[in-house]
Amino acid sequence: MHTAGEEAIVRRLQAHEHAAYRTVRLECLRLNPDLFGTTYPEASAMPILPFERFISTGDRDNVMFGAFVDGWLCGLCGFARETRQRTRHRGELVQMYVHTTLTRRGVGGRLIGALQQWALEDPTIQQVVLSVMAENTAAVSTYWRAGFREYGRLDRAFRLEGGASRTQLLMVWEWD
């Protein structure tokens, strides 16, 4: 457990941290099964997650930022760039997660801010999109505060175990 006085350090994950990333990614899917489109069984069955590979190779178009407290990786926020020629000005904010012991302390906003700063440094990037379950009101509020705006919704986008469904909220942050 971490105390409120501890400050998280936010930075891009380095090649040697791909295994720590996997641990946190699987943890967030296991602990929050209703908040992500990917399920824990799907991800845990993969020998190498796509972002494990991107992190270990230092991929410029697919980056993952991490929040650390005393060396403990406690938050994630990734950027996946579009690959088609006509959409390479855009990327997607993916896999946003902050461990429950650090929620409501600004860590999520700092992770998003690091991704935004990184995107602004690349003159070829002009848009960052994301999707979030509309029912995840804490995450939606964080994205609004970071300057994202809603551009669409897809009802019944995700089917959960037991038959319940979730609405996918689509958001964008853009600049000239």
Question: Residue 71 sits in a domain of what CATH number?
Answer: 3.40.630.30
Question: Looking at the domain assignment, is residue 112 inside a domain?
Answer: yes
* Domain limits for position 28: 9-174
Render pLDDT for 80-121 as a digit per residue (tens, 0 to 9): 999 999 999 999 999 999 998 888 888 999 999 999 999 999
Question: Looking at the domain assignment, is residue 84 inside a domain?
Answer: yes
- Tell me what pLDDT residue 161 has: 80
Question: Looking at the domain assignment, is residue 146 inside a domain?
Answer: yes
Look at residue 4 and tell me whether its pLDDT is greater than 70.
no
Confidence of residue 163 (pLDDT cuts 50, 70, 90): confident
Distance CA 88, CA 92 (A): 11
Q: Of 63, 135, 124, 136, whose CA–CA distance to 93 is shortest?
A: 63
**Distance between start and end Cα atoms, the chain:** 42
Look at residue 1 and tell me whether its pLDDT is greater than 60.
no
The count of domains in the chain is 1
- SS3 state of residue 138: helix
Q: What's the CA angle centered on 80, arms 19 and 58, to 5 degrees?
A: 50
The pTM is what? 0.92
Q: Which residues contact 171 (CB under 8 A, 6 or more apart)?
A: 129, 130, 131, 132, 143, 148, 149, 150, 151
